[in-house]
Amino acid sequence: MKAIQALCMGMSLLLVGCGDKEPAAEPAATAESKPAAEPALVTVNGAAITETQLDYAMTRTLGESAGLLVGPEVRDKVLQSLVQSRAIAQQAQQELSAEEAAFLEEQVRAYREELLVKRYLQNHADPQPVSNQQVTEYYNSNPELFGGEVIRTFEYITSVGPLADLDREQLKAAYQKASASQDWKQLSATLVKEGFPVKHKQAEMNIKLLPPNIKEMVTNAKVAEGVEIHTRPDVIMLRVLKEQVTTTKPLQTVSAEIRKTLAHKQMKEAVKSLASQVMSQAQVDYATTDQQ
């Protein structure tokens, strides 16, 4: 159900504002606005706190089995906490401006709607269970997520800022002339002294995570020998220093993680389908503004 909780806020945005056929959501009733239907355990400035409210507070604070596990002393403490909370809330209510009161009502409405969406999803969203075959297929299709990554260590010298075509060709020629140099950091410093606007970088990354222009160069370069030079949009000289492939984690050690990921995806699909069904029956009328 955690997946439902994570998705219910997004779903509330999908289901809000369904036109005239949908009755307006009323603010949640309070003891001040609606008399309690059951006897009061205690009243605070005339507002009742009931057994139902106490039970809910205990469940919310201590968990579903609170009523079976706690004694009268804890129950009294929770009740006193409710009394204090009610008194403070009443005082806060008196201090609200009209704008603050309206905003509070909107918060109550939004939270009520969120709870309704959560309840609806719990009752109607029916995601497909994750099969062992799906877990295996996901594992085989995404080896980079579980090790088996190709990591290349590379370095490059790149131009900085715009270059005229003549400067571009001169820098390319300087690269070609010095490409056999072993110390590219020093080479970069020398080029700067000669007036070329360049900088040197070295990195170690998964090839798939690189920006397209660098990814192409890193992929094409031969490890420890090849040099790639590109001139658009920047003038770049790059070489790959070494390559390593990380160890792949066994399926049995990551299957629970995969199952959790797929279960979340299945829930998203179920919610999407459910939202489509609900929206197909809803009348939604967007306000239009006449343009002069």
Where in the chain are the domains?
Answer: 2-14+22-124, 126-145+249-278, 150-245
CA dist 34 to 43, 44, 46, Å?
14, 14, 12
Residue 1: what pLDDT?
A: 47
Kindly indicate whether the domain formed by 150-245 is annotated with CATH number 2.60.40: no
Residue 233: what pLDDT?
A: 82
Task: Report the percentage of the chain scoring pLDDT > 70.
Answer: 84
d(CA 37, CA 20): 31
Least confident of 168-182, 223-237, 259-273: 223-237
Q: What is the pTM of this model?
A: 0.53
Residue 15 has pLDDT above 60, yes or no: no
Q: How confident is the model at residue 212 (pLDDT cuts 50, 70, 90)?
A: confident
Closest CA to 190 of 214, 171, 217: 171
Q: Over range 42-58, report the average pLDDT.
A: 93
Residue 14 has pLDDT above 60, yes or no: no
Residue 42: what pLDDT?
A: 95
Residue 36 has pLDDT above 60, yes or no: no
Task: Tell me the β-bridge partners of 150.
Answer: 245
Q: Over range 81-98, report the average pLDDT.
A: 95
d(CA 31, CA 48): 6
Mean pLDDT of the chain: 84
